[in-house]
Structure 1
Amino acid sequence: MEQNYWLFGTELKILVDEQKSDGHYDLIEGTLAAEVETPVHLHSKYSEEIYVLEGDFTIYIPGLSIKVKVGESVFIPANTPHVVSAGSNEKNRALTVASPSGFAKLIRSVGRPATSDQPPIEDHETMKKFLNLSEAIGDVLLGPPGSRP
């Protein structure tokens, strides 16, 4: 059932989606290059658990930064503004459990199938689709990459 996609330079593998979990959760494997980070955002309809497989990540939430290393995880409750920032390793890989489902739908709908090792160049239409679907599934962008909650 594994489905591989590129979304904004990040390789995302859908391991379990709403169809397999009956809408209870999505299981996503993400691979981020060194020092790539998400914009400040929150998920109003689902929570996340991030478990590090390779490299390390820093999770920024209001008033706190949490460094997460291989074998460690962090829980991000719904409605919590946050940033996920990859460490300086060439490859940083983590599993994300999003519960209930929603994240896999966003990846499938906006991401591009990973048919090579190189991410495609994103265009204005990709961002437009991303923003529209994010709003529909309850994701809210609060600031650009580099800002903190």
Structure 2
Amino acid sequence: MLQQPAVHNRQSPTYVFMGVTMKILLSSEQTGGQFSLIEGVMPPGGDGGLHVHSHEDESMVLLEGQLEVTIGEKVFELFAGESYFAPRDVPQRLRNRGTIPARAMLVTTPGGFDNFIAKAGVPLSDAVLSASLTPPEPHQLARLFELAEEFGIKILVPPEAQGD
């Protein structure tokens, strides 16, 4: 078995993706494709939309705030210090219905979701920090659906506008 070299990451590319700030702490390239480690901050009113990952499983630990989590038929509130596992091929959704940003560490196995974020997101250096939480415009949504399909992600229900 080929051993992956040790990685010490000092600079993490950061993107704004559907209003969520996502910092790629360890990329799939750095881990030999084994996993991706991402820090995400979802503002109040944020919504990831109902979607399905066909290539990777997702695990999260919530560090701050709270999220409404849907995994398959299960819907629950996730509070700081709690975690979840969402297997691939099962619909999932994250929404911040709270009043403070939700900050979490996300691990996807195998890696690859980080490449989708890098392609679909806006580099933080280029992003307007007061990014709107409204759903993408029709042309932006069409591009998002196209990119998602390329990365084995199917968007079942697009994100809602803040307050919906």
Cα separation, 1, equivalents of 2:90 and 2:139: 28
Amino acid at match of 1:28: I
Could you list the runs of 5+ residues in structure 2 that have no partner in the other structure? 1-10
Give the C-alpha shift of residue 27 in structure 1: 0.8
Q: Does 1:136 align with 2:146?
A: no
- What RMSD, in angstroms, separates the aligned Cα atoms of the two structures? 2.0
**Per the alignment, do residues 63 and 110 of structure 1 end up closer, same or farther by CA in structure 2, a change over 3 Å counting?**
closer
> Which residue in the other structure is 2:79 paired with?
69
Residue 86 (structure 1) shift: 1.4
TM-score, length-normalised on structure 2? Answer: 0.80
Seen in structure 2, the aligned counterparts of structure 1 residues 63 and 124 have a Cα distance that, compared at 3 Å, is: closer
Return the match for 2:30 from 17, 20, 26.
20
Q: Whole-Å Cα distance in 1 between the matches of residues 116 and 83 of structure 2?
A: 23
- Shift in alpha-carbon separation, 1:59–1:109, aligned structure 2, 3 A: same
Which region of structure 1 is more displaced relative to structure 2, 66-75 or 86-95? 86-95
Which of 90, 107, 118 does residue 130 from structure 2 map onto?
A: 118
**Residue 124 of structure 1: CA displacement?**
5.5
What percent of counterpart residues are identical?
27
Distance in 2 (alpha carbons) for counterparts of 1:84 and 1:21: 26
1:93: Cα distance to partner? 0.8
Q: Which runs of 5 or more residues in structure 1 are unaligned?
A: none
Deviation at 1:112, TM superposition (A): 0.9
1:92 is aligned to 102
More helix by percentage: 1
Alpha-carbon displacement from aligned partner over 1:57-98 (angstroms, at most 9, x marks no partner): 121123321221111100000001111111413211111101
More strand by share: 1
Larger Cα Rg: Structure 1 or Structure 2?
A: 2
Bigger drift between 109-118 and 30-39 goes to 109-118
Give the whole-Å Cα distance in 1 for the aligned partners of 2:139 and 2:22: 19
Q: Deviations over 1:100-121 (max 9, x none)?
A: 1121101111211112533379
TM-score, scaled relative to structure 1: 0.87
Number of residues of Structure 1 aligned to a counterpart in Structure 2:
146
Using the alignment, how far apart are the partners of 2:64 and 2:112 within structure 1? 25
Alignment partners' CA distance in 1, 2:159 and 2:118: 22
